[in-house]
């Protein structure tokens, strides 16, 4: 009885796949940047910049002052 062994991908196949994934990530990044640009242009077009920023601060609960306490040391476990 013959056993079919699955062929492992070669280094060339892995490099090709990794390059293809990198290109796809770059395309997604470009699409996100384009969507952000369109959103910014729409907000500017509607002249809602101040109202939008106020709404966003309220929704995300962002304070105007920075609340960074990074100077405290953390305890080791």
Angle in degrees, CA 37, 38, 44, rounded to 5: 90
The average pLDDT across 1-6 equals 75
Helix (H, G, I), strand (E, B) or coil at 38: helix
The average pLDDT across 41-53 equals 83
Read off the pTM.
Answer: 0.54
Give me the percent of the chain exceeding a pLDDT of 90. 39
């Amino acid at each position: 009885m013959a056993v079919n062994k699955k062929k492992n991908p070669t280094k060339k196949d892995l490099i090709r796949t990794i390059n293809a994934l990198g290109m796809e990530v770059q395309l997604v990044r470009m699409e996100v940047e384009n969507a952000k640009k369109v959103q910014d242009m729409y907000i500017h077009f509607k002249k809602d910049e101040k109202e939008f920023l106020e709404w966003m601060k309220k929704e995300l609960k962002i304070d105007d002052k920075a609340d960074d306490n990074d100077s405290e040391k953390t305890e080791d476990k």
